Chain A
């Protein structure tokens, strides 16, 4: 009924005793997420919101059968934390941390792909299947269960559109923040394919921004093999070239990565592109099959 995670998913929080880890472990538990253990080396025996802390992932996994890890450790520790998760046999690693050097990100993503492990992020709000499981920092209250899948490079902009959809009575199947950095794990392409095969998803919202060519590549894939309706939005139409707009990946360089190029690619793939965030709701209403209750 969703992609990647559901109400059965068992999760380990890496960096559970730090500020971010503590705060969001409590929020995730409150949402109903099955956080079964936490890891901070040297802190075995402690508890965070009733969750047991272990020194190593191997031990935390063995005791609980978790398959997913959510990483909140500081930027320079993430490479090591990810390698430890891979080594322990974790299947999906969600990296929330912002500010990881790209030289580390290349290693994190390359090793995962060699081992067949999925990574969401870095520098992302995580993933949520509304009503079932929240991994990361999404404000759960904004989301409603339903049939629209969302993929986004941004955090708050995702909340903005999810809120508008929920207010219009349109729920979501799963929402994934893929991250705002130049090198990320699962991208638009992988997530589009997952949603395309998910019976619970009827339509897909894709939220991109300036920088890179991931949106152009997504448009190519949609044209070729995505059967479900896709609505897109691109942030950064007014961004000047050569300036990093907050996200490390949001930069127009050498004339590449402009909003115009992305909008054009989507229009050529017959994907409706919303001019403003609120228009996503109108466009989804046009393509969704189920009757919409307000």
Chain B
């Protein structure tokens, strides 16, 4: 779950990381009620990158300018994602911009601290980023090591390493996948302040983070309505642009089936993994979610029953076929309780094509006629 900038900053301020004194608004008229000293910066709160380049950050010198800018920014979409609200903060006089972040390095199997003395928008592609792996339990020493490698000395080194300590505390205690401050700035009056903040809470950990209970629903602005429904139902759905709807069990097999569709000249309309041990109702929900996508011309179901019982899947297919007689479905259903499944599907017009390559070819031929 990606947090909005204003939320990340609020959380940072709880542990004493200095942030600008900002306020959020949802309608432009609210600027007239704000108690801020101009000039201000007005920033779109939107769950995607590239905000600055897309014109989502503007400065205003007085309330009338702020009103005009707010009206425009509130309707701004970036990468197809709507702006949720605006964050308005006093403009900061910057002396130097830095970058610090904490995330997981899967190759090293440990958390890493990242830092650069060249903060700003192009940091991901910059060679200046230094990395310090947190090889054991975290200790403030790791933060000082990073600050040193960033080229800092004396008081500036301790100012930055103290920010890293506080950020690491949040990273660990809130089960974050990412905690980032970019830019972290030294102001002209020799203070340090986090001008932007990013936080991603690990999806698997949300249930044990009381602070974030109920937040998820407001933080899924970057997925489709059907993807949201799938998520609530505990199904993994990722929509794509093709015509061939795909339902499988297991992430690897689902990806492999998508690849096969492409290989045989088709385009997958989605990734949908029903998971292990799916029962009839789960598969019915999956069929409905895929069928509801208007791009889908044909549904390809590929289930290799290990834990999953084929007869449960067959019951769902039968019910779906009866309700949707015009829907084209190609099925490959193999494994646990396969004979029972074939019995259930008799007379429905659905027949399992046991050879996976054959099944995919059939689906492509029906879904994308030449």
Q: Tell whether A236 is near chain B: CB-to-CB under 8 Å.
A: yes
B110/A106 in contact, CB under 8 A: yes
| Shortest distance between the CB of A214 and any CB in chain B (Å) | 8
A28-36, A221-229, A240-248: which lies at the interface: A240-248
Q: Is A65's beta carbon under 8 Å from chain B?
A: no
Please determine whether A248 and B276 come into contact, CB atoms closer than 8 angstroms.
no
Q: Is the CB of A101 within 8 A of B304?
A: no
Could you list 10 further interchain pairs (A-B, Cβ under 8 angstroms) beyond the known A154-B251, A155-B252, A276-B357?
A76-B208, A103-B172, A157-B250, A207-B252, A237-B259, A237-B262, A238-B268, A246-B254, A275-B263, A276-B263
DSSP class of B's interface residues: helix, strand, loop or mixed?
Answer: mixed
Q: Is the CB of A245 within 8 A of B306?
A: no
Binding site for B on A (CB under 8 A): 75-76, 99-103, 106, 109-110, 125, 137-139, 142, 152-160, 163, 180, 182-183, 207, 209-210, 212-214, 217, 233, 235-240, 243-250, 254, 275-278
What class of interface size applies to chain B in its complex with A? 35 or more
Q: Complex Cα distance A233/B260, Å?
A: 12
Query: With A99-B204, A110-B109 known to touch, is A155 a contact of B306 (CB < 8 Å)?
Result: yes
Is the pair B262, A238 in contact by a Cβ cutoff of 8 Å? yes
B313-351 to A contact mask, C-beta < 8 Å, 1/0: 000000000000000000000111000000000000000
Interface residues of B (CB under 8 A from A): 104, 106-107, 109-111, 124, 136, 172, 175, 177, 202, 204-205, 207-208, 236, 238, 240, 248-256, 258-263, 268, 271, 273, 276, 304-307, 334-336, 356-357
- How many Å lie between the Cα of A142 and that of B236 in the bound state? 26
| Chain B residues within 8 Å of A157, by CB | 250, 252-253, 255-256
Expressed in whole angstroms, the minimum distance between the Cβ of B271 and any Cβ of chain A is 6
Contacts of A158 in B (CB 8 A): 252
Nearest Cβ on chain B to A241's Cβ, whole angstroms:
12
Of the candidates B205, B240, B250, B336, the one whose C-beta lies within 8 Å of that of A155 is B250
| Contact residue among B207, B238, B249, B356 (Cβ-Cβ distance under 8 Å from A277) | B356
Taking a contact as CB atoms under 8 Å apart, the answer to whether B276 and A137 are in contact is yes
Asked whether A100 and B204 contact (CB < 8 A) given A154-B252, A238-B268, A240-B240, the answer is yes
Q: Are A159 and B306 in contact (CB under 8 A)?
A: yes
Of B106, B136, B306, which one neighbours A156 at CB under 8 angstroms? B306
B99 → chain A closest CB, angstroms: 15
The 8 Å CB contact of A278, one of B204, B207, B255, B357, is: B357
A239 contacts across to B, CB distance below 8 A? 255, 258, 271
The 7 closest A-B pairs by CB, nearest first: A154-B252, A246-B251, A156-B250, A157-B252, A139-B306, A101-B205, A235-B255
What is the CB-to-nearest-CB distance from A28 to chain B, in angstroms, rounded to a whole number? 13
**Chain A residues, CB < 8 A from B104:** 102, 106, 182-183
In-complex Cβ contact of B304 among A75, A160, A214, A254 (8 A): A160
Q: How far is the CA of A139 from the CA of B204 in the complex (A)?
A: 26
Chain A residue numbers with a CB within 8 Å of B106 are 182-183, 212, 249
B107: contacting residue among A207, A213, A276, CB under 8 A: A213
Given A101-B175, A160-B304, A212-B106: A235 touches B256 (CB 8 Å cut-off): yes
Q: List chain B residues, Cβ under 8 A from A250.
A: 251, 255
Residue ID in chain A nearest B253 by CB atoms: A156
Contact partner, A235, options B172, B208, B252, B276, Cβ 8 Å: B252
Give complex CA distance A102, B205 in Å: 8
Q: How far is the CB of B223 from chain A (nearest CB, A)?
A: 9
Nearest A residue to B171, CB-CB: A103
